[in-house]
Amino acid sequence: MSVSILDVLNVRHATYDLFSDLFLYKFSSEDFNDLLKKLSLIDEKLGEFIEETGVNVREVRRVIENSKRSDYLIEYSSLFIAGVGVKPLIPVESKRLFSLMGEKVATFKYNDVIRFYRSRHLVPKLISEFPPEPDHISSLLAFMSLLIEEEFKLRSSGKDAFKTVQDQKNFAVTHLFSWIPDWINDVINDPRSSIYKVVCSELSNWLKFERDFLGER
């Protein structure tokens, strides 16, 4: 069975969107249950297609379904909100880079994220009790899903998608591949990590696929 570029874009969009959701703080029981429903739906509808990229959605679904919401809340807050540890695990690009490389690099990266968002006329929206920063990992992954959706619409209508593809490459290289793999390694090796050890392992597999797909090895 041949797979079209639109099918691939559909899988890429869904995967980025799912990982974006996985790194949002699901404080309320309603938000947490919505995440479980989304995981179930994507696993059943697209799981086997996503698995071809090296990402096991079923494993992520299993570890979250088998966890108490209270355990999830403790793990998320201790890892990603408290900011305690040798390296900061707060999943915000500028905050991590500030502590590792200084203010100049952090400010440059933050302003570049804002420049990308403005190119798509995006403004921050208060979508939850804990809205993420513009360069929070969840925001960055959501922006990639938006760029892929843009490419999908262009190709579907027979228009040239070259600029959108270049923007995906530039954004991924500058704001995903540049710091997230190192951060993933820190999360996986942190003794407080259980649920997110699995989530980050699968995100690592996804970023490896994306590097190859975008030709950025």
* pTM of the predicted structure, to 2 decimals: 0.94
> What angle, 0 to 180 degrees and rounded to 10, lies between the N-to-C axes of helices 5-22 and 195-213?
150
Place of tokens 């262009």: 154
Residue 122, classified by CB atoms within 10 Å of its CB into exposed (0-12), middle (13-18) or buried (19+), is: middle
What confidence score (pLDDT) does residue 89 get? 92
Q: What tens-digit pLDDT sequence spans the chain (217 residues)?
A: 567 999 999 999 999 999 999 999 999 999 999 999 999 999 999 999 999 999 999 999 999 999 999 999 999 999 999 766 666 799 999 999 998 899 999 999 999 999 999 999 886 654 455 578 999 999 999 999 999 999 999 999 999 999 999 999 999 999 999 999 999 999 999 999 999 999 999 999 999 999 999 997 6
What confidence score (pLDDT) does residue 126 get? 45
CB 29 within 8 A of CB 68: no
What confidence score (pLDDT) does residue 88 get? 73
DSSP assignment string, 31-59: HHHHHHHHHHHHHHHHHHHHHTTT--HHH
* Torsions phi, psi for 136 (to 5 deg): -65, 145
Residue 7 neighbours by CB under 8 Å, 6+ apart: 49
